């Protein structure tokens, strides 16, 4: 099957005589995949729901949430485009431990995990791609731990913005920041007032510009300095 989600860890690029074209982009697990679109606020799966699928994002952002001790939603992870696949814990468990909610509109490959495991038994390189997806999950978990490990509120917020920023240059230097100040506060273990005050300070200093739902980094070096604790 031809595939447009080149970020998925299960795509394979076939070439003939050294040429590469989009038509040659195929999926290694075609019989296990369904292409889906989702809208902001849509629940892809819920905690306690019977687990059947993994998700690889082609576009958009998904927040992984858990209910806190007093019933409020706590963001515990992020689904982003790339080699990351979310829902991986469901490979060994019958039900999802977390809830996945679309933070933006987007598209994804929905991969039936039992079919994926069957394909893995027949084609070892699929297993290597699955290992790559697991490594991507671990790398993101480490990045999120680093965000939480910052000592100052400003450092945490700056590191969180950098975590969401696109890793490659884009034509429009604005990117989605589909989280309220309260969401960010809950995620980082800060008060909403602190988040508002620190982001306002970064705006006054010309480090960021943050219209509703969007973020533009105006001084990348200064933002990294704040995240690294090198800024006063």
Query: Residue 44: its pLDDT value, please?
Result: 93
Q: How far is CA 114 from CA 54, 123, 200, 208, in A?
A: 10, 14, 48, 44
Cα(96)–Cα(91) distance, rounded to whole angstroms? 10
Dihedral sign (CA 12, 1, 134, 38): positive
The label of the residue with tokens 């910052």 reads: 150
Under-70 pLDDT residues of the chain: 1-7, 12-26, 68-72, 89-92, 167-173, 231-232
Cα(159)–Cα(223) distance, rounded to whole angstroms? 8
Q: For residue 153, count CB atoms less than 10 angstroms from its CB and return exposed for 0-12, middle for 13-18, buried for 19 or more.
A: middle
Q: Where are the domains of the chain?
A: 11-148, 150-227
CATH class of the 150-227 domain in this structure: mainly alpha
Query: Residue 21: its pLDDT value, please?
Result: 41
Query: Residue 22: its pLDDT value, please?
Result: 42
Query: Residue 201: its pLDDT value, please?
Result: 95
Cα(142)–Cα(5) distance, rounded to whole angstroms? 25
Cα(83)–Cα(57) distance, rounded to whole angstroms? 9
Cα(75)–Cα(188) distance, rounded to whole angstroms? 9
Query: Residue 208: its pLDDT value, please?
Result: 92
Cα(86)–Cα(80) distance, rounded to whole angstroms? 9
Query: Residue 17: its pLDDT value, please?
Result: 39
Does 2.60.120.10 match the CATH number of domain 11-148? yes
Query: Residue 38: its pLDDT value, please?
Result: 94
Cβ-contact 90, 116 below 8 angstroms? no
């Amino acid at each position: 099957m031809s595939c447009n989600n080149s970020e998925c860890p299960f795509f394979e690029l076939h070439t003939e005589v050294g040429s590469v074209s989009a038509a040659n982009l195929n999926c290694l697990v075609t019989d296990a995949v369904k292409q889906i679109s989702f809208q902001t606020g849509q629940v892809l799966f819920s905690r306690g729901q019977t687990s059947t699928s993994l998700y690889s994002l082609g576009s958009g952002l998904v927040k992984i949430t858990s209910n806190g001790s007093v019933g409020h939603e706590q963001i515990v992870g992020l689904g982003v485009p790339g080699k990351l696949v979310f829902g991986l814990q469901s490979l060994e468990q019958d039900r999802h431990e977390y809830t996945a909610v679309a933070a933006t509109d987007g598209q994804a490959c929905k991969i039936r995990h039992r079919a994926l495991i069957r394909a893995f038994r027949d084609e070892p390189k699929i297993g290597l791609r699955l290992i790559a997806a697991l490594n991507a999950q671990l790398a993101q978990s480490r990045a999120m731990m680093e965000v939480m490990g910052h000592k100052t509120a400003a450092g945490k917020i700056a590191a969180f913005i950098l975590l969401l920023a696109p890793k490659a240059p884009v034509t429009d230097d604005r990117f989605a920041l589909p989280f309220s100040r309260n969401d960010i506060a809950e995620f980082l273990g800060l008060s909403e007032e602190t988040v508002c005050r620190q982001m306002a300070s970064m705006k006054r200093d010309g480090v960021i510009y943050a219209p509703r739902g969007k973020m533009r980094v105006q001084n990348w070096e200064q933002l990294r300095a704040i995240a690294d604790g090198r800024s006063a």
